[in-house]
Structure 1
Amino acid sequence: MTDHEVKKYAGPPEPEVSAAEVEELLKKVDKESTYRKLEGIPRKLVFWLAVAFSCFHLYTGIFGMLAAQLQRSIHLAFAFVLVFLLYPARKTSSNKVGIVDYITAVAAGAVGMYITFNYERLMTAAGNYSQADLIVGILGVLFTLEAARRVVGLPIVVIASSFLIYAYVGDYLPGFLSHRGYSIERIVTHMYFTTEGILGIPLGVSATFIFLFLLFGAFLEKTGIGKFFVDIANALAGWASGGPAKVAVLTSGLHGMITGSSVANCVTCGTFTIPMMKKLGYRPEFAGAVEAAASTGGQIMPPVMGAAAFLMAEFTGIPYIEIAKAAFIPACLYFLGIWIEVHFEAKRLGLKGIDRSELPRVWTVMRERGHLIIPLFGIVYFLMSGYTPARAALAAIALSIIVGMLKSETRINFTDFLNALEAGARSALGVAIACATAGIIVGTVTLTGVGLKLANGLVALAGGSLLLTMVFTMIASLILGMGAPTTANYVITSTIAAPALVALGVPLLAAHMFVFYFGIVADITPPVALAAYAGSGIARSNPFRTGVIATKLAIAAFIIPYVFVYSPQLLLIKSTVAGVTMNFLTASVGMIGVGAAMIGYLMANMNVLERLWFLIGGLMLIDPGSTTDIIGFVMLASGLFLQWRKSKANKQGFSAGA
């Protein structure tokens, strides 16, 4: 690229929504964005507390984690204090921290640290808890629910509270839901002083793996990797048909690997990509839907998947790297599906790409910022070399700092370092509180045995049919996803629905990946589709229609889980290299058929029968198997021939008319 060309490309266009509008939009659709904008001493207090929070995790990550309840109680105490200082009790509250908030933050912090200071006595109590212990336990449960209401939202509080009530009134319930019931003292001590409740596996994963991975993402952001993702996506795809939409798919997929939040990813990338798509000629609803669907897929894209993937590793006992490897092909098919639909929509509308002279060159971008992707390759290497996820994240953090030092424009100075520590801690608050609240649900399941009862009930309701069980599980996951974040959604469905699938012979990993997928796509499934609403707010489009289109674009996420349950080879379970390669290639061709059916265009517009023909042919190819592959190829080949003839006839008719 010449100097003139380098100067000509000034990066992505200015967003058409102001920073204030984006902030207001985030507050509407993302509960974690409703924090106070602090100034003065309160701002400094929160800043240094957040830095201390990150330093604690760096210290224990380097020198060794503390005993489970010590590590988790300190993690929870930090989260409590920061949440009650940052997040107001009511939406109408001012940005100032009131005296009640200070008192609540101190009290919650003390309750969180109570286990830390009384660790030995509580570990040897053998159920013989004092009156003070009971009071602290009650406060711990209440502070957890209140913190969840502030930072996560009311729905998860209602769900967790329902489980607590169930634990108390079980002996009054009929049928298979009945159990002997437990006293308040038994429930509270089980929930707060054991590793079966609030301080259980979900919070343990948050206090070890998840925090460090979020911190890794914060450091990568400080190096400027976000700009690199935008530039490289523009260089690779900006010139193609419907280029800006393809840029959105690439950018959001790459950016989603290090954020783990559908809504945050959508807003971060969407402020630039959505105006580009609208300017090219895409409908506002379609532009918002593309960004929402692509941003949601970031949580299933290895190597750094959403927080729930770490929970899956802990719940199943399967190493995280094996889960990441298993997720790779389904994630590629998901993004391929979106890419194909974006392409066909551009062809249908006759949308061209951006002139190459207005775009950066691949080699120029790689020369200037390509070194920033080294930490992403590094974390894969560390995980595959036998590092624990925590050690891999620590090594990747160090690598991101070292790599950033290679060039002045990506170098992290001391201020950036402190800001990254604060940003990492802030991003962990929602996950930490969601995991603590999910622990209440897990605690109720372990206390009452309701998980097995519900799993058996689900199988009985489906009449022992695997397909019906999967449909019921999908519906439950989507409904829960409307009111619970992905982590809590996964915890609930993995303890209730996944065992039902396993009981019917589904491999453990396939069963958990099934509920994991549907918990994630709830972010774009109407009527409550937070990522789609975020994209809609930026695109200034109809929210419901944006959600419907996003669901169509993400159709792969509704198909592939069924496929890998019936054919686990897609998850690399009992598979060979040749078999996996063939399955991936045939499934990719199948996605072309499915994508064409969703858009209603391949080489010419399709009628209803043609769309149905391509949909069935595509599904046949996605389903691994020689018979289905042959049927699928025949259907798509014949459909392609008819589309070619129709396209040729349309061109001849146009020429004759001209």
Structure 2
Amino acid sequence: MGRLCVGLLAAAFAIFHLTTSWRGSLSTLQQVYVHLGFAMVLIFLTRPCVSQDSRFAKIRWFVDLPLAAMSVVVSAYPVVNFLDIARRGAGDPAEIAVIFGVIAIVLVLEATRRMVGWALPLLAAIFLVYAFVGPYMPMILAHRGFNLERIAATLYLTTNGIAGTPLQVSATYVAIFIIFAAFLDVSGAGKFFIDWSYAALAWFRGGPAKVAILGSALMGTINGSAVANTVATGTFTIPIMKRAGLKPAFAGAVEATASSGGQLMPPVMGAAAFIMVEIMGRPYSDVLVAAALPAALYFIALFAMVDFEVARQGIRGVPRHELPSAWKIFKEGWHLIAPLALLIYLLVIVRYTPVKSAFFATLAVIAASWIRSETRMGGRRLFAALRQGGLGMLEVAAACAAAGITIGVLMLTGLALRLSGILIDFSGGNLMVLLVLTMGVSIILGMGLPTSAVYVVLATLVVPAMVKLGVDPMAAHLFVLYFGVMANVTPPVAIAAYAGAGLAGADPSRTGLIAFRLALAGFILPFLWVFNPALILQGPLVQIILATATAIIGILSLAAGVQGYLFQSAARWYERILLVVGAVMLIKAGIVTDIIGIGCIGAAIASRYAIGAVTLPTMVPAASAEPGRGE
């Protein structure tokens, strides 16, 4: 009975967002608090305060049900009284509003703790304490201090707190795209992507690993979570990689690295992309275009890393006669691509809003599913998609609400306005120092927070300082986003790699180190487009083409140097150094660096000639070979 109630509530949550996507959103406070109310109730019902296996399991209903009931009350108050709230403002709140505000803050922190752990609630709690103790802080951080009434009213009743930009985006853009992803998944699109990738690529050397890369990139268009993507595609790809001869740690690392990159793959790019649109005030199509080339370079680098590694180990592909027909799979599932094509068309060509585009794309999923009986979405599948969509919003909603508390305190105390100057002073006005600091903070925060929460915090705290030092705003926002994603494969807390290790039965630490190595391009590229915006497709066409060509050569050289493989044989230590140095020089735009890079790579190739090892580099499939490890 409880499971059915949760399912109905989650489906109602999804239906609310489908309705407002079509008819238009409610007023800001109403839209946000209906969204938050649904989310908190579902969190308290699905994430119990004690484990169901505990001997205290029965106690949960005396804790979780009251918390769910209070969530309804504190969320309903702004929805019903939004006109009175607008008239009074935060400076003259009703007494009951202050009480509800305190309760709402506590509920948001507890709901976030249950969904994403302690890190984000603790960060918000630290800032709440800061709001009270401002007069006692050092001069650079001091402010006049605020009482409980002012803090509660500001965070609860204004759009500079819980109902701030992060939760507004969650309640509009993110919600409908999560629903769209759920409909695609239930329709069978995810299975189609994996099946087609396997049929198309598994016959290449190390083909199963390349299936994981392509499948995860395609799944990334409908799934914004690195861990969820790892688990969803890794369940299929990791066992196949192991059967092909790849070691368990490497198989788990490949899947984790590819799945993390899925968050960077347009057109969806996870929740952070939509928050970026709102913060920057730019059309989503601009973000999509700017992110396209970096995402492609990331996956090209990963593809090359994997290819060189499996070639070095002598691992073959799956014989063609053992694989299903890629063309047959495509003919049976092509209709599942149509909703994604429609989404891109509406976003880029027609220029509909992301919300309206995703709504029509969701309807297109239902319509397309009826083309074949195997994918047809009847009543049961529609309910499953609505339920999955409703439950899929919980983590983002909780994280965005807690991030809103942090940002609300920053705005209330004025620290947000002063922080850019503080960071610039701390870095000595040196852009590279600021970028390195930003990278470090992004990775540290990303170890304990969802990517969207990392992005929200740093877009508020750090991006303004980067822009003041001359960084293009789009480059600055993408820089922060990328390192929030890279935290998923950065030891010691490489959470996506640990998920991959669990599926592969491998050592988590070793899997994390391998994933970090495979994702190296993702750590280098953000620095490069900061100094050369042509890599995010900004600038003259000739400059973009040149930057793209040299970047591709550079990342291929980086892969060869890191994996120690060049022209069908193991590279010597000095050749690897030349390749890596040449890669860095080529990826960084500039005539001098390009000449140095070409010279280093040329020297490595000349060394191969000297020992007679040069043949054309290849990713040629071993169609007739038996799968397994070569001699």
| Matching of residue 414 in structure 1 with residue 379 in structure 2 | yes
Question: In the TM superposition, what is the alpha-carbon distance from 1:417 to its structure 2 partner?
Answer: 0.6
* Matching residue's letter, 1:63: R
Aligned pair in 2 of structure 1 residues 237, 637: CA closer, same or farther (>3 Å)?
A: farther
Q: Among 37, 40, 43, which residue is 1:83 paired with?
A: 43
Question: In the TM superposition, what is the alpha-carbon distance from 1:91 to its structure 2 partner?
Answer: 3.9
Paired residues of 1:87 and 1:151 also in contact (CA < 8 A): yes
* Matching residue's letter, 1:465: N
| Matching of residue 552 in structure 1 with residue 517 in structure 2 | yes
**1:623 paired residue number:** 588
| Matching of residue 74 in structure 1 with residue 45 in structure 2 | no
**2:407 paired residue number:** 442
**1:29 paired residue number:** none
* Matching residue's letter, 1:484: L
Q: Among 286, 289, 302, which residue is 1:325 paired with?
A: 289
Aligned pair in 2 of structure 1 residues 587, 417: CA closer, same or farther (>3 Å)?
A: same
Query: 1-side partners of 2:549 and 2:73: how far apart?
Result: 57
Find the residue that maps to 2:393 and give its secondary structure.
Answer: helix
Query: 2-side partners of 1:575 and 1:442: how far apart?
Result: 37
Paired residues of 2:578 and 2:603 also in contact (CA < 8 A): no
**1:113 paired residue number:** 76
Question: In the TM superposition, what is the alpha-carbon distance from 1:647 to its structure 2 partner?
Answer: 5.9
Encode CA deviations 1:87-130: one digit per residue, 9 max, x unaligned.
11134666776133112111111111111111111111132112
| Matching of residue 504 in structure 1 with residue 469 in structure 2 | yes
**1:249 paired residue number:** 213
**2:188 paired residue number:** 224
Question: In the TM superposition, what is the alpha-carbon distance from 1:644 to its structure 2 partner?
Answer: 4.5
Find the residue that maps to 1:339 and give its secondary structure.
Answer: helix
Query: 2-side partners of 1:131 and 1:176: how far apart?
Result: 34
Query: 2-side partners of 1:600 and 1:454: how far apart?
Result: 44
Q: Among 348, 351, 360, which residue is 1:395 paired with?
A: 360
The residue correspondences of 1:228-627 to structure 2 (distance < 5 A) are 228-384=192-348, 385-576=350-541, 578-603=542-567, 604-627=569-592
Query: 2-side partners of 1:70 and 1:93: how far apart?
Result: 38
Instruction: Give the structure-2-normalised TM-score.
Output: 0.94
Q: Among 42, 57, 62, which residue is 2:22 paired with?
A: 62
Encode CA deviations 1:427-446: one digit per residue, 9 max, x unaligned.
00110111111101110111
Aligned pair in 2 of structure 1 residues 649, 398: CA closer, same or farther (>3 Å)?
A: closer
Question: In the TM superposition, what is the alpha-carbon distance from 1:520 to its structure 2 partner?
Answer: 0.9
Query: 2-side partners of 1:647 and 1:199: how far apart?
Result: 66
* Matching residue's letter, 2:370: M
**1:31 paired residue number:** none
Aligned pair in 2 of structure 1 residues 644, 241: CA closer, same or farther (>3 Å)?
A: farther
Paired residues of 2:575 and 2:607 also in contact (CA < 8 A): no
Question: In the TM superposition, what is the alpha-carbon distance from 1:175 to its structure 2 partner?
Answer: 3.1
Query: 2-side partners of 1:480 and 1:453: how far apart?
Result: 21
Question: In the TM superposition, what is the alpha-carbon distance from 1:635 to its structure 2 partner?
Answer: 2.0
Question: In the TM superposition, what is the alpha-carbon distance from 1:640 to its structure 2 partner?
Answer: 2.1
Paired residues of 1:213 and 1:393 also in contact (CA < 8 A): yes
**1:654 paired residue number:** none
Query: 2-side partners of 1:93 and 1:435: how far apart?
Result: 30
Query: 2-side partners of 1:643 and 1:72: how far apart?
Result: 62
Question: In the TM superposition, what is the alpha-carbon distance from 1:182 to its structure 2 partner?
Answer: 1.1
Encode CA deviations 1:135-162: one digit per residue, 9 max, x unaligned.
1000000000000011111111111111
Question: In the TM superposition, what is the alpha-carbon distance from 1:555 to its structure 2 partner?
Answer: 0.7
Question: In the TM superposition, what is the alpha-carbon distance from 1:303 to its structure 2 partner?
Answer: 0.7
Find the residue that maps to 2:395 and give its secondary structure.
Answer: helix
* Matching residue's letter, 2:391: R
Find the residue that maps to 2:613 and give its secondary structure.
Answer: helix
Q: Among 70, 83, 101, which residue is 2:64 paired with?
A: 101
Find the residue that maps to 1:408 and give its secondary structure.
Answer: coil
Greater shift after overlay, 492-501 or 293-302? 492-501
Paired residues of 1:80 and 1:112 also in contact (CA < 8 A): no
Question: In the TM superposition, what is the alpha-carbon distance from 1:51 to its structure 2 partner?
Answer: 1.0
**1:123 paired residue number:** 86
* Matching residue's letter, 1:233: S
Query: 2-side partners of 1:567 and 1:452: how far apart?
Result: 28
Query: 1-side partners of 2:78 and 2:436: how far apart?
Result: 43
* Matching residue's letter, 1:560: L
Encode CA deviations 1:294-335: one digit per residue, 9 max, x unaligned.
000010000111101111110111111110110000000111
Question: In the TM superposition, what is the alpha-carbon distance from 1:526 to its structure 2 partner?
Answer: 0.8
Query: 2-side partners of 1:168 and 1:93: how far apart?
Result: 40
**1:201 paired residue number:** 165
* Matching residue's letter, 2:180: F
Encode CA deviations 1:29-80: one digit per residue, 9 max, x unaligned.
xxxxxxxxxxxx2111111111111111111111111110110011111111
Paired residues of 1:452 and 1:499 also in contact (CA < 8 A): no
* Matching residue's letter, 1:581: I
Question: In the TM superposition, what is the alpha-carbon distance from 1:358 to its structure 2 partner?
Answer: 1.4
Query: 1-side partners of 2:142 and 2:53: how far apart?
Result: 43
**2:12 paired residue number:** 52
* Matching residue's letter, 1:144: V
* Matching residue's letter, 2:137: L
Identity %: 44
**2:125 paired residue number:** 161
Query: 1-side partners of 2:32 and 2:224: how far apart?
Result: 21
Query: 1-side partners of 2:258 and 2:388: how far apart?
Result: 24
Query: 2-side partners of 1:498 and 1:638: how far apart?
Result: 40
Encode CA deviations 1:520-570: one digit per residue, 9 max, x unaligned.
111111111110100011111111111111111111110010000000111
* Matching residue's letter, 1:163: F
Greater shift after overlay, 598-607 or 566-575? 598-607
- Count of residue correspondences: 610
Encode CA deviations 1:379-401: one digit per residue, 9 max, x unaligned.
11000111000001001001111
Paired residues of 1:251 and 1:269 also in contact (CA < 8 A): yes
Aligned pair in 2 of structure 1 residues 649, 317: CA closer, same or farther (>3 Å)?
A: closer
Instruction: Give the structure-1-normalised TM-score.
Output: 0.90
Paired residues of 1:301 and 1:328 also in contact (CA < 8 A): yes
Find the residue that maps to 1:432 and give its secondary structure.
Answer: helix
Query: 2-side partners of 1:287 and 1:571: how far apart?
Result: 31
Query: 1-side partners of 2:594 and 2:421: how far apart?
Result: 35
Paired residues of 2:451 and 2:485 also in contact (CA < 8 A): yes
* Matching residue's letter, 2:149: E
Paired residues of 1:61 and 1:391 also in contact (CA < 8 A): yes
**1:16 paired residue number:** none
Question: In the TM superposition, what is the alpha-carbon distance from 1:498 to its structure 2 partner?
Answer: 0.9
* Unaligned ranges ≥5, structure 1: 1-40, 651-657
Greater shift after overlay, 624-633 or 300-309? 624-633
Find the residue that maps to 2:140 and give its secondary structure.
Answer: helix
Query: 2-side partners of 1:211 and 1:409: how far apart?
Result: 27
Paired residues of 1:298 and 1:305 also in contact (CA < 8 A): yes
* Matching residue's letter, 1:635: C
* Matching residue's letter, 1:104: L
